[in-house]
A and B are shown apart, each in its own frame.
Chain A
Amino acid sequence: MCGICGILGLEGRPADPILLKGMVSQLRHRGPDGRGMHRDGALGLGHARLSIIDVAGGYQPMSNRDGSLWITFNGEIFNYVELREELETRGHRFATKSDTEVILHLYQEHGKDCVQAMNGQWALAIWDRRERTLFLSRDRLGIRPLFYTTADETLLFASEIKALLAHPAVTPQLDLIGLDQIFTFWCMLPPRTAFRGIQELPPGHSMTVRNGAIKLERYWRLAYDGEPDAARSEESYAEELRDLLLDATRIRLRADVPVGAYLSGGIDSAVIASMARECVGGRLKTFSVAFADPEHDESPYQQEAAEWLQTEHHSVLCANADIALEFPEMIRHTETPILRTAPAPLFRLSRLVREQGYKVVLTGEGADEFLGGYDIFKEAKIRRFCATFPESRRRPLLLKRLYPYLSGLQSQSPAYLQAFFRMRPGDVNSPFFSHLPRWELTAQLKMFFSRDVREELSSYNALAEFAASLPSSYGSWHPFHQAQYLEATCLLPGYILSSQGDRAAMAHSVEGRFPFLDHRVVEFTTRVPPHLKMKALKEKYLLKKAAGERIPPAVRDRPKQPYRAPDAASFFPPGGETQPEYLQEVLSPGRIRQDGIFDAGGVEKLLEKARRGRTIGVKDNQAVVGILSAQLWMHHFMRGVNHADDYSRGHGQGIAPVRR
């Protein structure tokens, strides 16, 4: 896996080789094994390479035999073996063993529709020399990143935003609407990024650029439109899921380097590791994060899974202070403010993987979204159940079963539970019923915004923007499917696969692969009836059934624990140990006022509370992490601090006025 970038003069201006080189060098961490560039008039393609498939022959940018097509590609096409066989029967001849070359031939055969045949994770650009057309594409679910912008009549694109900032006319400015979305949804809605004027190519989209005109096209969309097959048995669904997952895992083991697996202690990664072991037929190397903080630590379950699967297991211990230590560099990689520290431990984990000589790991991402694992699905189910009999005092008690790990909630009286999960008339009809409590709680963090920022955002409504993007048939879907759609199209690409996924792994040149995100698995799960995903309040029911004895019963039957890391406590140790120095700098009242995003008085009160160890609630923790990460974002990108490059900039002018 790699980093890609490119430029195209929309008015025909020749591509600047120095700029291109500057862009590639910003992506070095993604591809330390080599770099390449190709220029053709107004077009320039760049590539930073991490060699995984066809280590000897896979150099990029790569052209076809007659040089009419050029590609720069980040990712993997896992079914390239089958696609190649098919293409060979149609007369295509191949010069390398790489999946990259297969894409070129596939494009030659099908043009932009080539992506329909591809099973994988990709961000790619193909230059069609004869047609003078540039084609960009990103995988269905947003596993691999691709950002773009235009400046100075030039289209620029890259795997990470830092490469776009190499262009002197691209000025980093915080996008306030993006900030509003983060402080609502925990992430931004595609195509928005934290940088004003810089977009991401949304998941499931391609872009064609011809004669200076940019055209975006959706080639795939998650939809729950199919009718469930009432006659089909549980066993039959479980069997198909097992077969699909096995095949998804099998093709994800294709690599010319060894492939390892993460073990989180939960069932998803254990299922994938067990299938990988079956496919490999030998000993598998597995990796985990262990937390010094017992509240977050899952190492006994990780050990249990490793022993059951007889893997060679390695783990890295993460103390609260380690999170504080890694956090600033993590934000330089996420390129966005975030409300959780959870990417930081995974950033350490990818370092361990790299030190062990591994470049590729399989993980369990996607199971919670597509097979019904998240508490938010359960919560919505209980709230809907309560809504049918609002006066019931017994029904809200079910909510206690939801969050066994939240001690604050466990000690609440039924009357309070009922009040917290209260519903207003009309809530049950909202397209966002499942997510309203989360989003409304998070949106309260906006009280920390400065007066200017609040004024700028006063007429903006993040929920209305999201509502406008929902598919036309959304209203007819089962409520469980609606909730799944919201998770899978918002938080999954916007945070889980990016800040906590690609960026945390690629910071140390490690590629994640996700069998649950094979589009055949995903499309299958859209046809599974909701009651098989979550039976009563049993989450991931079908997956557990499909997993059977593959994974240890202790792991299969344990209560669900979402992956979390210590948040405020990482920066404000309860024992009063020394806080990291950068905290004083980026959170000082002077700096807060200078940057202008937050209200200095409010932040100071929050920090006082944090120093006393009193920021214990979800909201306070999110406030601490959100404010700190936004301030670090400003620090890195507006002030160019810690950047060993040529785009350090002056102070101020960092916040863009709202523009829709």
Chain B
Amino acid sequence: MPTITAGDMAKELRQFVVDNFLFGRDRPFSDEDSLIENGLIDSTGVLELIAFLEEKYAIRIEQAEMIPDNLDSIHNLSDFVRGKRQAPA
């Protein structure tokens, strides 16, 4: 599996959020900001996000992992996905 730096991944994730939920309007939000609390993502948005992660990073996300602690900021997402990719399948 190709390695990807934390910075690059954060960039890719941010691009997805901006394109898909903000439709290109790069409203300022930090890598630590909650996607839900800032109105960036709603209940279907989470499913879109999961579908994107699974496809883009070839990972499988279990029901138990679908929690805000893993998915609710660019930073958490990046950590979570990188962790998944390093874990033995």
Contact = CB atoms under 8 A, between A and B. Distances in A.
Contact of B39 (A444, A602, A616): A444
B12 interface: no
A408 B43 contact: yes
Contacts of B72: 419
30 contacts: A411-B66, A412-B43, A412-B46, A413-B67, A416-B46, A416-B67, A419-B37, A420-B42, A420-B43, A422-B36, A440-B39, A441-B39, A441-B42, A447-B23, A447-B25, A601-B24, A601-B25, A602-B23, A605-B19, A605-B24, A606-B23, A609-B20, A616-B48, A617-B43, A617-B44, A617-B48, A618-B44, A619-B42, A619-B45, A620-B44
Interface of A: 406, 408-409, 411-413, 415-416, 419-420, 422, 440-441, 444, 447-448, 599, 601-603, 605-606, 609, 614, 616-620
Interface string B25-61: 1010000000011010011111110000000000000
B22 interface: yes
B56 to A, nearest CB: 14
B68 A419 contact: yes
Given A419-B72, A605-B23, A619-B42, A411 B47 contact: yes
Contact of B67 (A411, A415, A601, A617): A415
Contacts of A618: 42, 44
Interface of A is mostly: helix
Contacts of A616: 44, 47-48
A41 to B, nearest CB: 56
Give the interface centre of A411, A413, A601, A602 by most chain B CB atoms within 10 Å: A413
Contacts of A415: 67-69
Given A616-B48, A619-B45, 15 more contacts: A408-B43, A412-B43, A412-B66, A413-B64, A413-B67, A416-B43, A419-B68, A422-B36, A422-B37, A447-B25, A603-B23, A614-B20, A616-B47, A617-B43, A620-B44
B64 to A, nearest CB: 8
Contacts of B39: 440-441, 444
Contacts of B25: 447, 599, 601-602
Nearest to A451: B25
Contacts of A602: 23-25
A624 to B, nearest CB: 11
A184 B63 CA distance: 33
Contacts of A614: 20, 48
A420 B36 contact: yes
B27 to A, nearest CB: 8
